[in-house]
Amino acid sequence: MSERLLEVEDLSVEFATEGGVIRAVEEVSFGIDRGATLGIVGESGCGKSVTSLALMGLLPRPAGRVVGGSVRFDGAELIGLDESRLRKLRGSEISMVFQEPLTALNPVYTIGRQIAEVARRHLGLSRSRARERAIEMLARVGIPLPDRRIDEYPHELSGGMRQRAMIAMALVCRPKLLIADEPTTALDVTTQAQVLEQIVTLQREFGTAVILITHDLGVVAETCRDALVMYCGEIVERAATEHLFNTPRHRYTQRLLEAMPRIRSRPLTSLPVIPGSVPEPDRLPSGCRFAPRCAHSGSRCELERPRLQRLEDSDVACFYPANVEADGAAT
Amino acid sequence: MSQPLLRVDRLSRHFRVRRQGGAGRQILRAVDEVSFSVERGRAFGLVGESGCGKSTLARALLRLIEPTSGRVWLSGEEITALDRRALKRARRRMQMIFQDPFASLSPRRTVAQIVREPMDAHHFGDRSERADRAARLLERVGLGAAALDRFPHEFSGGQRQRIGIARALALEPSLIVADEAVSALDVSVQSQVLNLLASLKQDPGVGLVFISHDLAVVQHICETVGVMYLGRLVETGPADRVLSAPAHPYTRALLDAVPIPEPGRPIGGRALAGEVPSPLNPPPGCPFHPRCPKALPICATRRPSTIELTEDSQAHRVDCHLHDPEIGA
């Protein structure tokens, strides 16, 4: 059994829109080992959620489709797999948690019934065994009085409790991979801390690999071993979290870290900014997509698209990367 | 010395709501006896988690919803005592900026019309003066006059928030209340808008009430911070003191829960236990005691009074028994 659980290679996704076809994800490559944690960071529209939906075969149809690349999960190719086999995989081996559990949970069934349903379908448990398993899972995700809460409907739970129930449902079959898309973004900061702690604890106990998609660099720093940064549909940097934060190589990563408000012992008088805004997906620059906002871009950046290249401990798509000591290069 | 720009004294807003699953009504204390003040050229940050009452408080300050009790003064004029006509006049001096710039900008009007709207409503100058001023305001927020004839949907989220700020500035308000004004923005544009909001304080007549759930954002903008829990201000003081040496255990917990972009910190052990209780049925004594890691027996029975931690003008106040010299450890 290989250590590699998921291998994504040159994955590209297109969307048909009123204004024509746009490329939402451009030749994205990454992988994750069994039991590992990977953060995908980026701002709205960078393609991070579309990437995860494409992995699961959940792109909205007919607008979105994978136009290239491969996704190998546990040795098997997922792109082009028929729907019935994908459905079997989802929930049992790969599962997903979304930002807003209210849209993912069915409002007319109790949470217990929904969790038990997954256990019955994928694990073939009897009704009573499935219910026991659901109660056990609710307890594992830190829901107090699980044997009573199991008979409540989603609207009767607080936002934090709903997200826990969602995680219980996602993990009831002990999947090999959990994809969590902004799982704590809608939660208050104290609840977020609880839920993140829970995800990390269960990830370790169950040996589940986790892909965490977020706009929050702080969340990635606290929960993920590896991280990648996306901008305008492309991966611009990929590294161990430690390296990404301590020696960011891509100018966008660097600026993003600087611009992020954080509690400082001495507050800055002015926050560093990234000038301009993210280009529209139908008006992407032909070279480096960050070049128009980058203080270090040269003529090459406007003409040529940088590819991910190894630079010490990181992979970075930049012609003039940061934190390079060499002759005359920038810092 | 001169009076503060805004003074709020024991402001409350209670709602009567139907008792859950039973007959009769009960009182929900969304905002309960909140007092603070804002100086000119300064920003007061209001932080707390969802449902703590911060947005209700913001609206009650401007009487967008009527307070149940308490008083509010703006530049010495008692807002809470004004009749409707006088209130409309006073509204010129108080403006609000909302979280979702798209929802608060009419999609069918051009940016010029949107920014002129409050000036039209308040008969501010003549037509050409209003048009000039709209153009100047857009320059001020960094959009440029080219934006005037375009529609809100043509702009990104950060630019739309700039339009909202230009509109809020149209009547030269002295008080600007920003409710989660940058929460919906991505990091790369959030910092631009934050710097813009911070620059508003350079006008010596202007003060800001800045509402946010994000402590780091508040620290960047505000000189003074108030922390709300279940409708009450549990700690108020200078931002640097409150955020570096919080006195209330709830403030401490909020700070500890913020994810920090420094890898390698072990996760766990920092999360505050439990959830915010229902404001319909707040715990007796200190409302935070069921979740408080430092609660004393008295916290379950007696509501803490407000303790002054400093004697200088930079008042640092906390509602916590731990700081009461007669009780505290």
Comparison of pLDDT for A265 and A125, the residue scoring more: A125
Q: Which two tokens stand for residue A177?
A: 């991979």
> Which residue of chain A has the CA closest to B253?
A190
Provide the residue type at B67 as one letter. Answer: P
**What's the CATH number for A4-224?**
3.40.50.300
Most confident by average pLDDT, A87-101, B7-21, B26-40, B272-286: B26-40
- Residues of chain A neighbouring B256 (CB-CB closer than 8 A): 193
Inter-chain CB proximity A193 and B260 less than 8 Å: no
pLDDT (tens digit, 9 = 90+) per residue, B164-223?
A: 999 999 999 999 999 999 888 888 888 889 999 999 999 989 999 999 988 989 998 999
Mean predicted lDDT score pLDDT of chain A: 91
Model confidence at B1, pLDDT cuts 50, 70, 90, reads low
In angstroms, what separates the C-alpha of A284 from chain B's closest C-alpha? 15
pLDDT of residue A61: 86
Mean per-residue pLDDT, A155-182: 93
Model confidence at B274, pLDDT cuts 50, 70, 90, reads confident
Does A327 score more than 60 pLDDT?
no
In angstroms, what separates the C-alpha of B96 from chain A's closest C-alpha? 23
* Domains in chain A: boundaries: 4-224, 248-316
Does A326 score more than 70 pLDDT?
no
In angstroms, what separates the C-alpha of A120 from chain B's closest C-alpha? 31
- Residues of chain A neighbouring B272 (CB-CB closer than 8 A): 190, 193-194
In angstroms, what separates the C-alpha of B83 from chain A's closest C-alpha? 38
pLDDT (tens digit, 9 = 90+) per residue, B57-78?
A: 999 999 999 999 999 999 999 9
Count helices and strands (H / E) in chain B: 9, 12
- Residues of chain A neighbouring B191 (CB-CB closer than 8 A): 259-261, 271-274
Q: Which one of A194, A201, A218 has the shortest CB-CB distance to B260? A: A218
Comparison of pLDDT for A213 and A61, the residue scoring more: A213
- Residues of chain B neighbouring A275 (CB-CB closer than 8 A): 192
pLDDT (tens digit, 9 = 90+) per residue, A275-317?
A: 888 888 888 999 999 999 999 999 999 999 999 999 999 999 9
- Start-end of H helices in chain A: 48-56, 83-89, 101-104, 111-123, 127-140, 146-149, 159-171, 189-206, 217-223, 241-246, 251-259, 299-303
Mean per-residue pLDDT, A231-256: 96
Q: How far is the C-alpha of A166 from the C-alpha of A183, rounded, in Å?
A: 10
Does A331 score more than 60 pLDDT?
no
Comparison of pLDDT for B57 and A269, the residue scoring more: B57
Report how far apart, in Å, the C-alpha atoms of B218 and of each of A256, B30, B38 are. 19, 22, 15
Most confident by average pLDDT, A21-35, A79-93, A253-267: A21-35
- Residues of chain B neighbouring A163 (CB-CB closer than 8 A): none
Mean per-residue pLDDT, B273-286: 88
- Residues of chain B neighbouring A273 (CB-CB closer than 8 A): 188, 191-192, 195
Q: Where does residue B207 fall: left (phi above 0), alpha (psi -120 to 50 degrees), or beta otherwise? A: beta
> Which residue of chain A has the CA closest to B222?
A267
pLDDT (tens digit, 9 = 90+) per residue, A4-34?
A: 999 999 999 999 988 889 999 999 999 999 9
Inter-chain CB proximity A263 and B262 less than 8 Å: no
Q: Which two tokens stand for residue A176?
A: 């090999």
Neighbours of A61 (CB within 10 A): 8
> Which residue of chain B has the CA closest to A293?
B188
Cβ within 8 Å of residue A138, ≥6 positions away: A111, A112, A115, A146, A149, A150, A164, A165, A168
Best of B49, B188, B223 to substitute, by most chain A Cβ atoms within 10 angstroms, is: B188
Does B101 score more than 70 pLDDT?
no
Mean per-residue pLDDT, B149-171: 90
- Residues of chain B neighbouring A190 (CB-CB closer than 8 A): 49, 253-254, 257, 271-272
Inter-chain CB proximity B187 and A223 less than 8 Å: no
Mean per-residue pLDDT, B247-264: 90
